[in-house]
Amino acid sequence: MLAIASCAGMLMSCHNQSKSVFFSGTLSQAFEEAARQKKYLLVVSENEQCPPCVTWNSLLTENKQVKEMLADKYLLYRCVRQVKGNEILSYSLNSVGSPTTILYNQRGEIGSIITGNKKEDELITELYAFENERSMFRFYTKRASDSNHLGTPPKAIEKSLQAMLAFQAAGNDTSKWRTALTAVQAAAMSQPYFYNCYLSAMLNNKLGDKSQSRKWALKALELTGSYEMLLYRDLLNETKTYADTTLTMENAPYLAVAQSKITLGVLKFREKKVWQISVYNKGKNPLLLHQAVASCSCLSAVCPKAPIAPGDSAIIQLSYDASSHGVFNRGLSILSNARNTIMEVAVSGVVE
């Protein structure tokens, strides 16, 4: 019996963990190994620097009761979403900062989607339900037009999954590209998320249909919000070149900041610190700052709305509310149309 749990990456190697319980090959090799051992394949999809993901993996690998349940039935596999190629199911994730586990039944259908961390008893109950095909689950999806809504059906995720598999299996065979394109565009029509539309643009471009490639690229860019910019940073510039064939990365705007590491020093409790940073356009086309996404509600930023001409600078206004005592380390992601789509700024200090 084989039940496959898939993550955002299809044929990419995923990061190893120090514990040997996670399979260390590619996902396709994990499929083969699970089939050989006649086990379910459980894959955890997670982000880099994700504390809840560490907690979840600890439950899977260190909790005695969970380990006993998984030992003879499941092969565990771990994927990191930021690795290029691991995007296929990313749009179904509830949060960039939590793990997602997806389980397939023996017929190759999604049997359960586990989002975020669960307690020991909740996980065991869900695994029993999955094995007996009685799993009942609800999960939230994220996309630019509706950032938190219920409802991407498992069948739609399967369609996207099969589309990506078809593309990866095509290799350099043009006839297989056309077969893959059919699957990819069907997924993009039923689930018009960034990644599905990106795949359609990329495959049409490979097949020489620049008009269709541009159509799908523009659709992908329409669906690009802060979530997509954070998750698909390596794919956005590629998508832009499909949308505008005259665009070259050498001429694109380039974002630079005066300070990427800011130390606020010692703040008093409940103090509100206000300051500003300068940003520069070192590219050859106007720079547009979309927004600045902070890692907490205590840090906020206001970006200028006017385009920044090549060679010019502008000011971002920032504020920090010292609402809790102790040392703090916060992050700010500045999202733009630059070829370095996102710029990270670290903010640290201590509150007395």
- Dump pLDDT digits (tens) for 51-64: 788 889 999 999 99
Q: So where are the chain's domains?
A: 3-137, 155-243, 255-351
What number of other Cβ atoms are within 10 A of residue 295's Cβ?
14
CA atoms of 158 and 113, how far apart (whole Å): 12
Residue from 173, 55, 163, 169 nearest 117 by CA: 55
Greatest mean pLDDT among 127-136, 230-239, 309-318 lies in: 309-318
Question: Is the pLDDT reported for residue 30 higher than 90?
Answer: no
What's the CATH fold of domain 3-137?
Answer: Glutaredoxin (3.40.30)
User: What is the Rg, in whole angstroms, of the alpha carbon atoms belonging to the chain?
Assistant: 22
Q: pTM for this one?
A: 0.55
158-172, 241-255, 284-298: least confident range: 158-172
Cβ atoms 266, 352 nearer than 8 A: yes
Instruction: Please tell me the CATH code under which domain 155-243 is placed.
Output: 1.25.40
Cβ atoms 215, 279 nearer than 8 A: no
State which amino acid sits at residue 102: I
Place of tokens 């939590």: 98
Confidence label for 232 from pLDDT (cuts 50, 70 and 90): confident
β-bridge partners, 7: none
Which pLDDT score, from 0 to 100, does residue 2 have?
42
CA atoms of 6 and 281, how far apart (whole Å): 40
Confidence label for 126 from pLDDT (cuts 50, 70 and 90): confident
Torsion over CA: 321, 323, 328, 330 (sign): negative
Instruction: Please tell me the CATH code under which domain 255-351 is placed.
Output: 2.60.40.10
Q: Which residue has the higher pLDDT, 122 or 183?
A: 122
